[in-house]
Structure formats: C-alpha cells, structure tokens
A and B are shown apart, each in its own frame.
Chain A
Amino acid sequence: MTDERRPLVLVADDDPDILSLVKLRLERSGYDVVSAGDGEQALETAKARTPDLALLDVMMPKLDGYEVTARLRQETATRHLPVILLTARVQESDIARGIEAGADDYVKKPFSTHELRDRVQAVLGR
C-alpha cells in the first residue's frame, strides 16, 4: 500500500483492447486498476481485492455483467461495491435489467473514455 492510496477500480471486459484502454485511461486519471477477462474472474477478483468500484461489461463469457452484479450484491464483502455496467445493448429493457440486478449506473458503448472517467469520478465522489 502506498502512502497516498489511490482508489482501486475493477474492470471486466472480454475484449482485451477495451480492457487496456479503460485501464490506461483510469490510471492516467489517478486510479489503480485490476482487470478481469470474464465474469467468473471478475467475481473472484472482487472478493479477493475488494475494489472501490467495479466496471463490468454486460456481454461477458461464463457470467454476464448482470449475473456478476447480482452475485456481488449477495456477498457481505461486496454488497455495497458500486457497479457501473458497460453495455452495447441500449434497449430500455437491458438498462432496466442492469438496475434490477443492482447496478449503480451504466455507460453505453461506444463510450468516450473521458465520459467514462467522469462517471467513475461521479460514483466515487471525487
């Protein structure tokens, strides 16, 4: 742990390019990032590292973003972990499903990384 602890953000997406893009942007903006390539890994990492925020892609192999969110809500350690869903699905029903699962916010793909950073800042209150 460094002297001035940077907030830790979990980023999960099965597209490696998106994953490193988000990682780069958030690191440049003063966050630490831990990444996951699928839903199961995201769930494990969330339990092991207790991040301050999770950015979850909706369409992921093994467990989708909705399911990961729902399971995070069931665990004591991650019950209050803020979740932002990244989604290319823009139907209202998709958004409603995310909120139902317990997500705090969602960002539509394609997103501008600046917009993403702003949302992260808003949720973390920085």
Chain B
Amino acid sequence: MAAAVADDRPYTTQYRVNHADGTIRHVVERGKAVLSGGRHKLDGAIFDVTEQRVAEAERLKLASIVESTQDSIISTDLNDVITSWNGGSTRIYGYDAAEVIGRSFSFLVPDELSDQRPSLLKQVLAGDAVRSLETRRRRRDGSLVDVLVSISPIRDSGERIVGFATIAQDISTRKQAEAERERLLHELEAQNERLRELDRLKDEFVALVSHELRTPLTSIRGYLELVLEEEDPLTDEQRQFLGVVERNAHRLLALVGDLLFLAQIEAGKLSLEVGAVDLAAIAAESVETARPLAEEKGITVTLATGPLALIAGDRARLAQLLDNLLSNGIKFTPVDGRVDVRVRGERGQAVIEVRDTGMGIPADEQEHLFERFFRTAKATEQAIPGTGLGLAISKAIVQAHGGRITVASSEDSGTTFRVSIPIRQLAPKPLEAEEVAS
C-alpha cells in the first residue's frame, strides 16, 4: 500500500474490523492516495465482504470434498457441455480438467451407447434423477470402463435447472471379478459337459467293441463245433488242444457279455424280462452246474431251501447272479472246503446266502468289492483268474430287482454274500448308482 501511495497508484487491501455489534467483519478497501496540502490523503471506499468470504469458505470446503472423492463428479450445462471436472474424473477417465472443460460430455460415451445419454438427461429434466445405472465410458486411451452412474439436476437460486451433475463410480474391478466368475462357471460347465461326453463315448465304445467281438467269436465257436464233431480225423492231443481253444473262446465270450452288460447298466439301458421266478429251482440248477468244478477241487457244495413264494424277476439274470456268487465261492475256497447255498423267504424278502470257507476278504477291501474291475490283493497275488466284473454285475442285477447285496467276511474263516429281494415287487426299479452297504 505504501508503494502504491508512493507511486500514486490505486490500491486494494483487505482486513478485519470489529463491528460495533461485537462481530468481526471482513472488509475490502479500495482507494487512491490524493496529495492535498503537501500531505497524502486516502480517498476510497470500504466494502463489507463478510458474506462473500463465508460463502467462499463454504465453496472451498465443498470443492475439497469433490476433489477428495475417488468417484468422478462432472457438472455440465443444459447443452451437456462440461463445466467442472474433479480429480476422480481424471483418475477414472485419464483426462485433465483443462482438456475437457468446455467440451461436450459425449466424448466420454462409447459409440454404441450414444443414444443413452440424451434420453437420461431428458429424464433428469423431467424431474426424475438417474440413480445407480450401470453403464460404460470411454477412457482417454480408448479403453472402456464400467461405471455406476447417478445424474442429478443442478438448480439455480430460482430453482430452475441449469445443468447436470454426473457422478460415476468405477466398478470395473467388480465387473472383472464378476466376468471372471462367470468365465470360470462356464469353463466348469464345459468341463462337465466334456466329461459327460467322454463317459458316453466310453460306454458307446464298450458297446461297439463288445458287439463287434461277437461276430468273430461266433465263427470261432461254430467252426470248433464243426471240427470237434468230425468222425475222427483228430488225435487225442489235437482234440485236447481244440478243447483248450473252445474253453478260452467261451471265456472271451463271457467277458464280452459281461462288458456289454455293464455298458448297458452304465447307459441306464438295463431292462429286465420279468416273470414269475422260482429262486429255489434256479439255485438248484446253479448248484448242479457248479458241482463238477467243485468236485474237481474237492469242495463240498450244499443247497438248503426254505419255503419261498415265486418272485417277480428276470430268470436269466437271477441265474447269472447265483452262478456268479457260487463260482466265486468255489474259486476262493481252498481244497476240502465247503460252499453252502441257502435260499428262503424271510419277512417279505427272498433271501439268498452263499457262504464259503475260503480265504476271506479284509475289511478295507470289502467296501470296494462291488466296484467294476476291483480285485482283492490275494486274488491278484495268487493269480486266481477273474476280471473283477462278477460282483459289479451281481450288484446291478440285485438292484434292478429292488434288492440289496451285502458281504460279511473275516480273513481265513470265509465269506458270506447275502442277497435280499422284495418278494412282491412287480415293477422292478430302474438301476441307480446307489451304494450298497457292506
């Protein structure tokens, strides 16, 4: 001020004064020194700017809030020309305020959404603010960013709408996480689909292979039969060799049959030819069939039958079940052992028990016994022939009849398989991959 006076220039100064009412007022003094009678006299006016100062302080406070938020806050006028741009906007979109103020908001909107903004502004003008709308914006580098947008009207002191405040929250991280989750879900689904497809292919493959093996096996067996019934051009040794061929062809055939049967079960295509079945008679036949083999090993086979009504079942499958259990018993029982078969009715169930005095099955192996291709360690060790399919098939047959198969065994004292089938079940359940308690 002293300099201004010395140079004879106008001055402006601000200071506070104590008002007579006890408040402090902010004042601005504008004036000029006037030389009068060899003395400087100040000539000017003092303005009370207290109201402006308070409003300014308030504005600064709001501005600092606007600046401090991570969200983008942009104001535009009625033509949607940008009038203010906060730090959050710079952070999200990459532009500085200086680059964008005075430009139309539209450069932030991706081309495919260019129709959206005008209709939103129309909505705001109609008095309906936009709340939490998920949309996309284009950044300075051309990339897109997902934002959650609210648009409110800006009003002047006369309550007239003079512009729009657009607040946007960057939700790209959340969207990315969502997209990632979605992608993983899809991937899992695709993987599941592939696994199902593989499973289906496997079943089809097994069915096809089994099927294709049947024709050559028909030839092998058929021609063997023809040779063996020749009037006697064969030596005993040749006849014996051909017997071996026939036995093995038969084994191969049984294996193919088992595989095909399991493939049908897996594909859910096993169906029973249900009729009235006399289980005791089937058991008697099985025992008769098995007896020569048992006698060869010096094993005694007995059959005890109790009173039992006819049951609804598939005769051939139930015979297969009994054959399986009986041949297992004989196979795993040492010389001079016994296999006892019991068939009886018990509380509405047909019960079959096949008890042997064989090597027994350790507890930890019992739970796997009915799985396909499972063989006990001892069976493998002692090279007892078998494929591990018999019990899986047996279980499937029992379940198709709505029954249960269980095993009780202790090492060295033998094994008992117990089958129970409901007697009056006329419509056997379709097969389920249900676990059997062992």
Interface residues in chain A, defined as those with a beta carbon under 8 Å from any beta carbon in chain B: 15, 17-18, 21-22, 24-25, 88-92, 109-114
Contacts and interface: CB of A to CB of B under 8 A. Distances in A.
Contacts of B226: 21, 24-25, 113
27 contacts: A15-B219, A17-B216, A17-B219, A17-B223, A18-B218, A18-B219, A21-B219, A21-B223, A21-B226, A25-B222, A88-B211, A88-B212, A89-B211, A91-B264, A92-B271, A109-B215, A109-B218, A110-B214, A110-B217, A110-B218, A110-B253, A111-B218, A112-B222, A112-B225, A113-B225, A113-B226, A114-B225
A91 B215 contact: no
B221 interface: yes
B269 interface: yes
B397 interface: no
Summarize B's interface: helix, strand, loop or mixed. helix
Interface string B145-186: 000000000000000000000000000000000000000000
B221 A112 contact: yes
Interface string B218-250: 110111011000000000000000000000000
A89 B216 CA distance: 14
Contacts of B218: 18, 21, 109-111
Contact of B269 (A18, A22, A91): A91
Nearest to B217: A110
Nearest to B220: A110
A91 B263 CA distance: 12
Contact of A88 (B214, B222, B269): B214
Contacts of A111: 218, 222
B260 interface: yes
Nearest to B261: A90
A15 B215 CA distance: 8
Contacts of A21: 218-219, 222-223, 226
Contacts of A18: 215, 218-219, 222
Contacts of A112: 221-222, 225
Nearest to B272: A92
Using C-beta atoms within 8 Å of the partner chain, give the interface range for chain B.
Answer: 10 to 19
B208 to A, nearest CB: 11
A90 B260 contact: yes
A76 to B, nearest CB: 34
A120 B260 CA distance: 27
Residue from A22, A88, A114 with most neighbouring chain B CB atoms (10 Å): A88
B225 A88 contact: no
A90 B270 CA distance: 11
A88 B269 CA distance: 16
Contacts of B271: 92
Nearest to B256: A110
Contacts of B214: 88, 109-110
Contact of A110 (B221, B223, B264, B269): B221
A56 to B, nearest CB: 15
Nearest to A86: B218
A113 B304 CA distance: 37
A13 to B, nearest CB: 9
Nearest to B260: A90
A89 B260 CA distance: 10
Nearest to A19: B219
Contact of B215 (A22, A25, A110): A110
B222 A113 contact: yes
B113 to A, nearest CB: 56
Contacts of A109: 214-215, 218
B223 to A, nearest CB: 6
Given A21-B222, A109-B218, 13 more contacts: A17-B219, A18-B215, A18-B219, A21-B219, A21-B223, A88-B212, A89-B211, A90-B260, A91-B264, A109-B214, A109-B215, A110-B215, A112-B225
A113 B214 CA distance: 14
Interface string B267-292: 00101000000000000000000000
A108 B438 CA distance: 36
Contacts of B225: 112-114
A80 to B, nearest CB: 28
Nearest to A92: B271
A112 B223 CA distance: 10
B258 to A, nearest CB: 13
A89 B405 CA distance: 30
6 A-B pairs with least C-beta separation? A110-B218, A21-B222, A17-B219, A88-B214, A110-B217, A109-B214
